[in-house]
Structure 1
Amino acid sequence: MKPRLRIAILTRNFDPMGGGAERYAVALAERLAARHEVHVFAQHIAHPAPSLTYHRLPALKKPRWLNQLLFAFLTHRRTQAGFDIVHAHENGWAGDVQTVHVRPMRHNLLGDIRGMRRGLRWLKIATSPRLATYLWLERSRFSPCPGRKVVAVSATLREEVATSYPESAACLAVIPPGVALPDKPPAQAEARQALGLPEGFPLLLFVANDLARKGLDTVLQALRDTTPALPLRPHLAVVGGNPGQIDHYRRLAATLGLEGQVHFLGPQRAMSMVYATADLLIHPTREDTFGMVVLEAMAHGLPVVVSRAPWCGLAADLSEKEAWLLDHPNDAQALAQAIQRLLTEEALRARLAQNGPVVAARYAWDDIAKRHEALYREMLEARCAS
């Protein structure tokens, strides 16, 4: 029997409602705790679990860049000794394993800029404590270090990291997020009643923390364009978003003549209930290094419409038999066509619904956790041999 490991998980926000990165950190920590001693170092903890040991760290509300620096310093100081593996989900210099969930800031700031524009951008960075700190913390986690592994959540993200930080290429690996396969989701009528959604109409589902970046404006335009072509008015349930975004998109929906068709549910914890309400998931994302919501919807047997890679990392591993892949996230006309066909062609909808759980089974969380454990033990063996 392999020895039990003592593992530290570093993430500022230990809350499955925080976003894809947070759900990844929470789900992985829980599954590792079934076989190992797992300690969570976080500033915000909203997911108590008896199998985990928590270390709450102090936080600064503002500025955010200074709080990120504080978190990096505190986690480095608290995890220098006593752990077999330190697994970080945040920029900083602490961590044997660094899981990267988002596109590198260097890629966003400097990726396609050349000549004088690049020089001016460097000047902007040099004169901004916020940008300079974020870039320094990012470079700290990608700097070559003996025994360190950098894990990207998709092959698309791995290539972006390798392009932005070529020196990190030798220590890069890919381990995607996992998904929990639902046991017995509620019936659609029951789920809609519980969430106050109309029955007897087709229901599209849109889930995102950042409504703009995931393409809600494109979804609303497509809903307006496809409504006249369908025998029943399709409705749209929007899950997530902050109050300011929700107010903005509620006004936009009214402007587009979609009164009564768009239902803003805000953030939701019982996502299995949410997925059970819908006929389709619509996800014309403009930036998703992986796309956990797409995988979760497929696990629940929902047909999905999603942007192709590079806009969605998961889409690089999907075929046309498994999802409807949009060539561009801003193409409302193409999205309207996808919605119309999927709501009117039962055989097409059924094929995607049937293939979704098959895809999700390839990403079962228990298997993903075992891949992390294998990486940990490989690192420890190399450490002992050196």
Structure 2
Amino acid sequence: MRMCFVTHKVKKGDGQGRVNYEVIQDAIGHGHRIVIIASELSEDLKNHPQVEWKKISVNGWPSELIRNQIFAVKSTLWLIKLRSLIDFTIVNGFVTYARSHMNCIHFVHSAWLASRYHPYQEGKNFRSFYQYIYTRLNRSLERYAMKRTSTIVAVSDQVKQELVDKADISAEQISVIRNGVDLQEFYPRLVERETLRLSEDTVYAMFAGDIRSSRKNLDTVLKALAEVPDVHLLVVGWTEGSSYPQMAADLGIKDRVHFLGYRKDMAELMSAADLFVYPSRYEPFALVLLEAMAAGLPIIASRNCGAVELLNEEAAVILDDPDDSKALAEAIRSCAFNRNRLKQMGEQAARIARSHSWKDMARHYSRLIEETAHCKTMTAAES
């Protein structure tokens, strides 16, 4: 079968891009020919004999809103040109105006726009107005894209429910395939903390994400940390343009919050930490949670993260209200100073993660692609 993937990125180190990468690798292993319409492609796929890359460059355009539209128009033109050569088309959300056979949804703009945590609900200014326009347009476009596909894949039960409730998509059309994790990279291991300039005697909580966005909710983590003495926080994420270093200073916890910037040694850092704290205000899945679980970290997260549906009370503390700093402080306190509990929670988290490898995820996609292609063939034969 000649398959076409239409997406912005196909590469490791990017949540959605990694999903695309693993599904394509599995398809190659099954002998399929692959056409990739994307802006970025992993180096090992660029010269692969079974892969043909149609690069769409969107560099230089002033905003993501415009870049996405440029990509959608160009990808549509490519699909029209390749229509007679392609047997099966897979897209991610709204990336083209053309029809597809499968659409994989990693973020639901309809749900995000309705959320009380959307920037426009938190304050009216130029930036939040841009976010409102961006999300509203994408809400309409993602609905348009999902009406023009046969099968929809949701990355969590949460996303499936949001598509039903907020985007008016039939539940029968949606299959849930959760993201995977690299078990060769993330696994419980002993790390000498001194190699990372960390103290052996300190309790370290860890947070990772875009700390320039209020959606990830680092502000509540900092407020909670102010109520839990003797616990330090490792923060991974770009600090440029972030207000949180100043917030930590204002709360008097600057010496206990370590802003590490962007890091490539996430697996080692996770293994060096004691627990992972992630009370995101809205997260369709949160791959970083699955990575932390695989590394053997106990989890404290909000119920708004799609990945928590994998967890149980033996591996995690799940918060109903992501903004409740007192509840978060109590959760950190109840875990941080109980080494026995930390050990048991971490072991259970790692056990759960081991059944969610990238290869397992890719096999689920492969089966669904075959089922959808078979239905397409049967429908064509009947007509």
Distance 1:317 1:257, change over 3 A: same
Does 1:163 find its partner at 2:165? yes
- Cα distance in structure 2, aligned partners of 1:8 and 1:131: 27
Aligned partners of 1:87 and 1:99 also within 8 Å: yes
Q: Tell me the equivalent position of 2:120.
A: none
Match in the other structure for 1:6:
2
Q: Which amino acid aligns with 2:39?
A: Q
* Counterparts of 1:237 and 1:262, CA distance in 2: 6
Question: Which residue identity lines up with residue 240 of structure 2 in the other structure?
Answer: P
- The answer to whether the 8 Å contact 1:304/1:324 transfers is yes
For normalisation by structure 2, the TM-score amounts to 0.83
Q: Which moved more, 1:296-305 or 1:205-214?
A: 205-214
1:346 is matched with: 339
Q: Does 1:264 align with 2:263?
A: no
- Residues 182-237 of structure 1 show CA distances to partners (whole Å, capped at 9, x for unaligned) of 36665321xx444443443111110112552121111111111011xxxxx22211
Cα distance change of structure 1 residues 34 and 274 upon mapping to structure 2, 3 Å threshold:
farther
Structure 1 residues 226, 208: closer, same or farther in 2, change over 3 A? same
1:164 to 1:86, Cα distance in 2 relative to 1, 3 A = same
Mapped to 1, the partners of 2:76 and 2:194 lie a distance apart of: 48
CA distance in 2, matches of 1:286, 1:152: 19
Shift of 1:15: 4.5
Counterpart of 1:244 (choices 241, 246, 253) is 241
2:178 counterpart (176, 179, 188): 176
Q: State the partner residue of 1:226.
A: 228
Q: How does 1:83-98 map to 2 (within 5 A)?
A: 83-91=86-94, 92-94=96-98, 95-98=100-103
Tell me the residue number matched to 1:69.
Answer: 69
2:188 touches 2:296 (CA, 8 Å); kept in 1?
no
* Conserved 8 A contact 1:182-1:272: no
Among 131, 143, 146, the residue aligned to 1:142 = 146
Aligned residue for 2:278?
Answer: 283
Q: CA deviation at 1:137?
A: 2.1
Query: Is residue 182–residue 299 contact of structure 1 (8 Å, CA) maintained in 2?
Result: no
Judged with a 3 Å threshold, the aligned counterparts in structure 2 of structure 1 residues 330 and 167 are, in CA distance, closer, same or farther, namely: closer
Task: Say if 1:292 and 1:109 are closer, same or farther in 2 by CA, change over 3 A.
Answer: closer
- What pairs up with 1:28-177 in 2 under 5 angstroms? 28-35=23-30, 36-45=32-41, 47-50=42-45, 51=48, 53-59=52-58, 61-79=61-79, 80-91=83-94, 92-94=96-98, 95-103=100-108, 105-109=109-113, 133-143=137-147, 145=149, 148-177=150-179
The 1:352–1:132 alpha-carbon spacing in structure 2 relative to 1, beyond 3 Å, is: closer
How far the C-alpha of 1:315 sits from its partner, in A, is 1.5
Quick check: 176-185 or 280-289, which moved more? 176-185
Q: Which runs of 5+ in 2 are unaligned?
A: 117-128
Distance 1:68 1:77 in 2: 14
CA distance in 2, matches of 1:236, 1:11: 35
Supply the AA of the counterpart residue of 1:69.
Answer: Q
RMSD in angstroms over aligned alpha carbons? 2.5
Q: 2:296 is paired with a residue of what secondary structure?
A: coil
CA 324–185 in structure 1, closer or farther in 2 if over 3 Å, else same: closer
1-structure distance, mates of 2:266, 2:241: 22
What is the alpha-carbon distance in structure 2 between the residues aligned to residue 381 and residue 27 of structure 1? 22
Going from structure 1 to structure 2, the CA distance change for 1:154 and 1:109 (only over 3 Å counts) comes to same
Offset of 1:314 from its aligned partner?
A: 1.8
Q: Distance in 2 between matches of 1:357 and 1:267?
A: 24
Stretch moving more, 204-213 or 296-305: 204-213
Q: Which residue of 2 aligns with 1:201?
A: 202
Deviations for 1:136-175, whole angstroms, at most 9, x for unmatched residues? 4222212155xx1111111111111112332544421111
Q: Give identity over the alignment, percent.
A: 27
Q: For the structure 1 residues 322 and 131, does the alpha-carbon distance in structure 2 shift closer, same or farther, using more than 3 Å as the test? A: closer
Q: CA deviation at 1:177?
A: 0.5
Change (3 A) 1:107 1:280: closer
Q: Do the aligned residues in 1 keep the contact of 2:90 with 2:104 (CA within 8 Å)?
A: yes
Task: Report the count of equivalent residues.
Answer: 352
Distance 1:299 1:256 in 2: 32
Deviation at 1:366, TM superposition (A): 1.0
Q: Amino acid of the residue matched to residue 146 of structure 2?
A: F
Aligned equivalents of 1:289, 1:298: Cα separation in 2: 17
* One-letter identity of the residue aligned with 2:57: P
